[in-house]
Structure 1
Amino acid sequence: MSVALVSAVDPYPTDAGKKIVLAGFLDYFTDRYGPDKVHYIKVGAAPQLDFPVNLHQVPGPSRAAVIGNLATRVATGRASLQEAFLRSRRTGRAISRIIGEIRPQLQVYDTVRMAQYVPASVAAQQICYLDDLFSERYDRQLKAAERFPDVDSSPLAAFAEHVPRLIQPLADNRTSRTALLRAERTLVRRSEDRVARRFRRCLLVNQGEVDILTRRAGVPPGRVQCVPPLLRASAAQERRYAGAPAFVFVGLLSLPHNDDGLRWFLRTVWPIVLTRLPAARLRVIGRYAGSDVLELAGHHAGSVAVDGYVPDLGDALGTAAALINPLRFGSGIKLKVIEALGHSLPVVSTPVGAEGIASGSGTGVLVGTEPAEFAELLCSLTEPARNAEYSEAAREHFASTYSRQAVFAAYDTAFSLAGAH
């Protein structure tokens, strides 16, 4: 048995949600079949770090190919922007050649971008990992932009590295980027629905979106399935919370929902927390902080520290009172919440930030909507006995749903590998 995973994303280092999921798939396949039976076909630039499985690099599309795709495929409604940015005959031939050489029984294609290279006869036997529904994500970004005028709704944020410089300025202008986002919402929805009908199985990380795509594409129940992500965090890791009013935010700040949520929190919630707990501290962990975030953090000098990528979150999560997840829009499941649960760390989130994850009593996840409510929940968790109660709930939540054993059992079902090892 051999497996091939085709993607334009380098999963290492695992510093973003998408990378964590892909790295988890590789970990699972390696455990089940051994590294020599697992192949990763990487489209585009060479990976940054050594790979734990067989790596096959193929060239990405040329600038001329992308421009041609925009004219012949996007303009005619045949493909979404993100598909156009990653499509070329040269890339397709390279993928096909490698697949023909290694002849994997299981093929997993990463989102509609890679699914476009799969013939219908192959797709009917294989799997597409859709991450989350981009059409839903874009729809929420558009609605958030109307409600919150300061939201950056760039449709290129997630894959800007693949976008020709010629059209990147379009995403910097509010009017043109809103038009792009509306168009991409429609185009990628068509592609998602088409992929759901073509592939043997599609995988998402949010059960709510599984239900949406199943209904929207008109496919039988079970054709689209939900899979939990595999995180490295250990549910057994010892907590070292001693009562300090210390909180942590984790997230890639180039993503609009993270940037907007953190700015909202710093403007509206953090001042309330500081009024009640003058010694409170917030550590922001995440790359690509924008000027607005840095400026807001500067206004709270001494109480907010903005760090970049931190490879080991153990110390930050092990000593904080809670993780904050103040998202006002977004889609999919938020891996930072699951990672916090894996460290037995309570989470205070908005409803959007906790979507797809159990919350409330016995889960370790508290949900607040308004600034005062959010601040009250944070302050309450600085009481050691209450924190210990919610820490234990977080630990049990992770163990039952997101531990390695629980996730591997879900993957055995999703990838139809039960009993094959």
Structure 2
Amino acid sequence: MKDVKTKILLVLSRSLSSSDGGREALIIDFIKRMSVYCDISAAVFNTKAEVEQDIIISHKNNGVSTTIVLAKPGLPSMIKNVAMSRGAFQEALFFSKYNLRKIEAFVKCEGISAVYFDMVRLFKYAEGVKNNTAAKVVYDLDDLLSLRYDLFARSNLTPVQVFGSYGKFIPIILSKVLVKKILPVILSYEAKKCREREIAVASIADVVLITSPSEKEIYQKFTGRQESIFTNFPIVNVREAIVGPGKVGEKELVWLGNNYVAHNIEALEHLISSVLPKATGFTLVVAGKTPAEFVERHRGKDYVQFVGFISCVDVLFRPGKILISPFKFGTGIKIKLLEAMSSGVAVVTNDIGFQGIPHGGNVYFTPCSSDEEIIDRVHKLTSDHSYLYGWLVEQRKVLERHFSRSYEKNIVLAIKSS
């Protein structure tokens, strides 16, 4: 007799129909892994004003059997939510009793065993489902937003770092007031409220998911909860670090990312304008979608080549290649760095790039503290075989210890347990 799959409903704050990396890609990967054991439905907010049928078709292609589209609350409802809420500001942008009743009705009608919630912003929905249905709660916190907002509140951010590309259109005087005076207060408040919600999740959720192994340990410490907490990230295939005797890293450096994202384009700008001019003899291949005006501005530099979007990273990521990522801001695990590491590419980055990547006990593969240190390490990787080999071995061990185990079976067992 064929086993009946466990029914899970994913409640998501965004559709997956226009994924270009980022959070959407992580969720699509989770669906693929869980669909072996589960029949997956989704309830999603149409935050991008997409045609509903397009959302449903796209989700079906990604392994979702049924999709219900939720309406984002209107401005009056958001204002009311803010006034009455004891939670984070972001919860007010998504909660409505109508949507909650719609989710609860679907859970009861379809016999859903567990409901997955995406990030802190959907906490009130999880609380309602826990109180009003028999379904288990699987809560994916992604990154710990309390840590992210606390860091932002204490950082000297620029308008572009805060508002992304929209920062260019906000008058400079207004943006400075917002960023320097008002935003730190808001972020400090949001950090406090997110921490309260993260602690509450430990009480109401049957399963807690966190992207970073490092943040999982932090979460366990401040909540006191140890059981049914799993890391959730795309599992990488770890390859042997093959570098032949005497071989050293190549002087053609690589960069891969969606360069429309604020933290990527700012890091790439810094790499091209400030780091590479000091790294004599090196060239850079830039892969990924990149704004046309950015490409045009740097077209005259003979040490940079833009190749655009590539469908297969194997043409870029080969053992002996070196990837430099001097991030200026951003939080959480950078999946492209893990992909590069798994291919035997030496990843050179700073403490921001290392967020979520454990490196305790490493000698070679550790964060760089300055541009000068980045350049020094790149020179060593291209001149010293033992240094390159030691670096790649440590990368492989980090992947094997922290990023090569998948927990779908554990999640399903926790859902099925009484």
TM-score range, shorter chain: 0.7 to 0.9
Q: Which residue of 2 aligns with 1:152?
A: 161
Aligned-pair distance for 1:375?
0.8
Looking at structure 2, the residues matched to 226 and 326 of structure 1 have their Cα atoms a distance apart, in angstroms, of 29
Q: Which residue of 2 aligns with 1:195?
A: 201
8 Å contact from structure 1 (residues 202, 224) kept in 2:
yes
**1:105 aligns to 2:113 (yes or no):** yes
Aligned-pair distance for 1:191?
3.6
**1:85 aligns to 2:85 (yes or no):** no
**1:230 aligns to 2:234 (yes or no):** yes
Looking at structure 2, the residues matched to 368 and 397 of structure 1 have their Cα atoms a distance apart, in angstroms, of 17
For residues 343-354 of structure 1, the aligned pairs below 5 Å read: 343-354=343-354
1:138 paired residue among 135, 149, 166: 149
Looking at structure 1, the residues matched to 366 and 29 of structure 2 have their Cα atoms a distance apart, in angstroms, of 27
Unpaired runs of 5+ in structure 2?
A: 1-5
TM-score by length of 2: 0.77
Question: Structure 1 pair 196/139, CA: closer, same or farther in 2 (3 Å)?
Answer: same
TM-score by length of 1: 0.77
**SS of structure 2 residue aligned to 1:22:** helix
8 Å contact from structure 1 (residues 3, 29) kept in 2:
no
Aligned-pair distance for 1:389?
5.0
2:34 paired residue among 7, 29, 32: 29
Unpaired runs of 5+ in structure 1?
A: 161-167
Q: Which residue of 2 aligns with 1:183?
A: 186
Aligned-pair distance for 1:333?
2.2
Taking every aligned residue pair, what percent have the same amino acid on both sides? 19
Looking at structure 1, the residues matched to 171 and 109 of structure 2 have their Cα atoms a distance apart, in angstroms, of 41
8 Å contact from structure 2 (residues 207, 414) kept in 1:
no
2:267 paired residue among 253, 261, 266: 261
Q: Which residue of 2 aligns with 1:401?
A: 402
Aligned-pair distance for 1:318?
1.9
8 Å contact from structure 2 (residues 216, 231) kept in 1:
no
Q: Which residue of 1 aligns with 2:3?
A: none
**SS of structure 2 residue aligned to 1:282:** strand
What is the letter of the counterpart of residue 155 of structure 2?
A: A
Question: How far does the alpha carbon of each residue in 1:302-329 deviate from its partner, in whole angstroms, 9 at most, with x for none?
Answer: 2223455433212111266212222243
Q: Which residue of 2 aligns with 1:17?
A: 22
Question: How far does the alpha carbon of each residue in 1:208-259 deviate from its partner, in whole angstroms, 9 at most, with x for none?
Answer: 433444555xx33226835041246563698899853122223334444333
Question: How far does the alpha carbon of each residue in 1:187-211 deviate from its partner, in whole angstroms, 9 at most, with x for none?
Answer: 3524434434332332212244334
Looking at structure 2, the residues matched to 390 and 206 of structure 1 have their Cα atoms a distance apart, in angstroms, of 22
2:122 paired residue among 107, 114, 128: 114
Q: Which residue of 2 aligns with 1:173?
A: 175
8 Å contact from structure 1 (residues 269, 371) kept in 2:
yes
**SS of structure 2 residue aligned to 1:153:** helix
For residues 296-375 of structure 1, the aligned pairs below 5 Å read: 297-298=298-299, 301-306=301-306, 308-318=308-318, 321-359=321-359, 365-375=365-375
**SS of structure 2 residue aligned to 1:38:** strand
Q: Which residue of 1 aligns with 2:409?
A: 412
Looking at structure 2, the residues matched to 133 and 413 of structure 1 have their Cα atoms a distance apart, in angstroms, of 22
Q: Which residue of 1 aligns with 2:45?
A: 43
Question: Structure 1 pair 126/13, CA: closer, same or farther in 2 (3 Å)?
Answer: same
Aligned-pair distance for 1:289?
4.5
1:126 paired residue among 137, 144, 151: 137
Question: Structure 1 pair 69/321, CA: closer, same or farther in 2 (3 Å)?
Answer: same
Q: Which residue of 2 aligns with 1:52?
A: 63
**SS of structure 2 residue aligned to 1:152:** helix
What is the letter of the counterpart of residue 53 of structure 1?
A: V
Aligned-pair distance for 1:109?
0.8
Aligned-pair distance for 1:83?
2.4
Larger Rg computed on CA atoms: 2
Question: Structure 1 pair 290/361, CA: closer, same or farther in 2 (3 Å)?
Answer: farther
Looking at structure 1, the residues matched to 33 and 241 of structure 2 have their Cα atoms a distance apart, in angstroms, of 22
**1:377 aligns to 2:377 (yes or no):** yes
Q: Which residue of 2 aligns with 1:165?
A: none
Looking at structure 1, the residues matched to 366 and 206 of structure 2 have their Cα atoms a distance apart, in angstroms, of 37
What is the letter of the counterpart of residue 183 of structure 1?
A: I
8 Å contact from structure 1 (residues 364, 392) kept in 2:
no
Q: Which residue of 2 aligns with 1:285?
A: 287
Looking at structure 2, the residues matched to 286 and 145 of structure 1 have their Cα atoms a distance apart, in angstroms, of 28
**SS of structure 2 residue aligned to 1:266:** helix
Looking at structure 2, the residues matched to 77 and 363 of structure 1 have their Cα atoms a distance apart, in angstroms, of 48
**SS of structure 1 residue aligned to 2:233:** coil
Aligned-pair distance for 1:350?
0.5
1:247 paired residue among 246, 253, 271: 253
Looking at structure 2, the residues matched to 59 and 12 of structure 1 have their Cα atoms a distance apart, in angstroms, of 15
Aligned-pair distance for 1:374?
0.4
Aligned-pair distance for 1:144?
2.9
Aligned-pair distance for 1:186?
1.9
Q: CA RMSD in A?
A: 3.8
8 Å contact from structure 2 (residues 213, 358) kept in 1:
no
What is the letter of the counterpart of residue 367 of structure 1?
A: P
Looking at structure 1, the residues matched to 94 and 146 of structure 2 have their Cα atoms a distance apart, in angstroms, of 18
8 Å contact from structure 1 (residues 284, 304) kept in 2:
yes
8 Å contact from structure 1 (residues 145, 153) kept in 2:
no
Question: How far does the alpha carbon of each residue in 1:330-360 deviate from its partner, in whole angstroms, 9 at most, with x for none?
Answer: 3322222211122122211102211222337
Question: Structure 1 pair 215/243, CA: closer, same or farther in 2 (3 Å)?
Answer: closer
**SS of structure 1 residue aligned to 2:355:** coil
